[in-house]
Chains A and B, each alone.
Chain A
Amino acid sequence: MAAERQIGHDSPMHQFVIGRFGEFHVFGLDASLSKAAVFMFAAMAVVVLFLTLTVRGRALVPGRWQAVTELWYVFIADMVKETVGGEGRRYFPFVFSLFSFIALCNLIGMLPYSYTVTSHIAVTGILALMVFLLVTVIGFQRHGAHFLSFFVPKGVPAPLLLLVVPIEVLSYFMRPISHSVRLFANMTAGHTMLKVFGLFVVQMGVFGILPLALIVALTGLEVVIALLQAYVFTILTCLYLNDAIHLEH
């Protein structure tokens, strides 16, 4: 197994190898620590420490750092309020956690020699599945079997329903896939591209200055994408929550 899993250090894909720091099992589950686990905890620690330390003063007139925290909080609170409405308040901590985790994983991944947790489909897939399960449970909890009417659009002629209902069901189950692949693909593509241009810099000698300039520009773009994809993932979560809470289709 290990033999065919070897990837050269000069491969653009090498950055996505998470490795493992020894084998470790919990209740028979493979819980080996890896780069992925370390950076997950790092991102979460950064979020918790930043949020806690910046509002420690509880200043009435916020300083620079407290303003960042408040802006961050209000940004997500407004997003939830606008897309889900008043009933969304209960899910605000979940949405906030999701956004903060993804945003910080993406941003930490932009640091040299670091690793991007969200570049693995395993991670984004679990996050998307979590959202999918939560939304489905909320839907059935709130509306019972009536939630199934979500798949039957109003005002569609009966014969067409034969076609529309399966499409609706399929699109519902496609949600976690598109939700997770969007984030994973963006992160993987961005980091792979940076690495490829990085290899060009080495190979082109003096002319490597050209791809180097490109890398500088692309790094800026990737920082924007890091935040944008966290936002997209979060707003989609809000939209799905809204669908489940307000059964209007």
Chain B
Amino acid sequence: MPQFWLEDFIPQLFWLVVAFALFYLLLSRVTLPRIAEVLEARQSRIASDLDKAERLQAEAREALASYEATLAEARNTAQTLLAERLAGVTAEADRKQAALAERLQKEATAAAERIAGSRERALADMSHVAAELAQSAVERLIGVRLGVAEARAAVAQGGGGGG
């Protein structure tokens, strides 16, 4: 076997050591750092992109939260405004109704007073008429001319005594 030809050992050893030393130096100093650089650049790029994405996501979440807060606030404001208006309107209506009721009450009272006045006046007229009637009746019946005062007292008495 040519593999065991001893005279070929030393030249192979020599060139292998020389070539491998050169190869190792070239790879470890130049080639491998260059590849590592490319891989690291990608790694850091991916990391920074992930970072950015995370930041943007946080921002979006924040924006959504603030939007929701604004919306809730607006809804609240609307509700209070509505309630206020409703209260105002109700109070106004109540007030108007009360005023109306008062006015009606007043009118009713005035009307009652008027009626009472009229009745009194009518009654007074009636007793006057009755007294005159009584005067003339007594004059005609017995020829006695009653004084006005007497006739009135008699009418008042008769009226009071269940006439």
Asked if A126 contacts B17 (CB within 8 A), the reply is: yes
Asked if B3 contacts A34 (CB within 8 A), the reply is: no
Asked if A34 contacts B12 (CB within 8 A), the reply is: yes
B34 to chain A, nearest CB (A): 6
Residue of A at shortest CB range from B39?
A70
One of B11, B39, B42, B45 near A34 (C-beta < 8 A): B11
Is A247 positioned at the interface, with any CB of B under 8 Å from its CB?
no
Asked if B3 contacts A121 (CB within 8 A), the reply is: yes
One of A44, A74, A126 near B39 (C-beta < 8 A): A74
One of B3, B26, B28, B32 near A16 (C-beta < 8 A): B3
One of A29, A69, A97 near B27 (C-beta < 8 A): A97
In the complex, per-residue mask of B13-49: 1 if CB is within 8 Å of any chain A CB, else 0:
1111101101110111011101111110110010000
Determine the chain A residues whose CB is within 8 A of the CB of B36 once the complex forms: 73
Q: How far is the CA of A210 from the CA of B1 in the complex (A)?
A: 28
Decide if the interface of chain A is mainly helix, strand, loop or mixed: helix
Determine the chain A residues whose CB is within 8 A of the CB of B7 once the complex forms: 1, 30
Determine the chain A residues whose CB is within 8 A of the CB of B28 once the complex forms: 93-94, 97
Is A75 positioned at the interface, with any CB of B under 8 Å from its CB?
no
Is A40 positioned at the interface, with any CB of B under 8 Å from its CB?
yes
Decide yes or no: A30 and B11 within 8 Å by CB, A74-B39, A97-B27 being known contacts: yes
One of B15, B17, B20, B32 near A36 (C-beta < 8 A): B15
Q: How far is the CA of A16 from the CA of B12 in the complex (A)?
A: 13
Decide yes or no: A13 and B19 within 8 Å by CB, A34-B11, A60-B42, A70-B38 being known contacts: no
B15 to chain A, nearest CB (A): 4
Determine the chain B residues whose CB is within 8 A of the CB of A121 once the complex forms: 3-4
Q: How far is the CA of A51 from the CA of B14 in the complex (A)?
A: 26
Number of B residues with CB within 8 Å of any CB on chain A: 36
Asked if B12 contacts A18 (CB within 8 A), the reply is: yes
Determine the chain A residues whose CB is within 8 A of the CB of B15 once the complex forms: 31, 33-34, 36-37, 40-41
Asked if A44 contacts B16 (CB within 8 A), the reply is: no
Interface members, chain B 53-101 (any A CB < 8 Å): none
Asked if B11 contacts A55 (CB within 8 A), the reply is: no
Asked if A40 contacts B11 (CB within 8 A), the reply is: no
Number of A residues with CB within 8 Å of any CB on chain B: 50
Is A20 positioned at the interface, with any CB of B under 8 Å from its CB?
yes
Is B149 positioned at the interface, with any CB of A under 8 Å from its CB?
no
Q: How far is the CA of A55 from the CA of B38 in the complex (A)?
A: 8
In the complex, per-residue mask of A183-196: 1 if CB is within 8 Å of any chain B CB, else 0:
01000100000000
Asked if B41 contacts A122 (CB within 8 A), the reply is: no
Decide yes or no: A93 and B24 within 8 Å by CB, A74-B39, A119-B3, A126-B17 being known contacts: yes
Asked if A29 contacts B14 (CB within 8 A), the reply is: yes
Asked if A37 contacts B12 (CB within 8 A), the reply is: yes
Q: How far is the CA of A74 from the CA of B36 in the complex (A)?
A: 9
Asked if B2 contacts A97 (CB within 8 A), the reply is: no
Is A101 positioned at the interface, with any CB of B under 8 Å from its CB?
yes
B26 to chain A, nearest CB (A): 6
Determine the chain A residues whose CB is within 8 A of the CB of B24 once the complex forms: 93-94, 97
Residue of A at shortest CB range from B28?
A93
Determine the chain A residues whose CB is within 8 A of the CB of B20 once the complex forms: 44, 97, 101, 127, 130
Is B142 positioned at the interface, with any CB of A under 8 Å from its CB?
no
Is A123 positioned at the interface, with any CB of B under 8 Å from its CB?
yes
A130 to chain B, nearest CB (A): 8
5 pairs from A and B in contact (CB 8 Å cutoff) = A16-B2, A70-B38, A93-B27, A122-B13, A130-B20
Residues in chain B within 8 A of chain A (CB atoms): 1-5, 7-17, 19-20, 22-24, 26-28, 30-32, 34-39, 41-42, 45
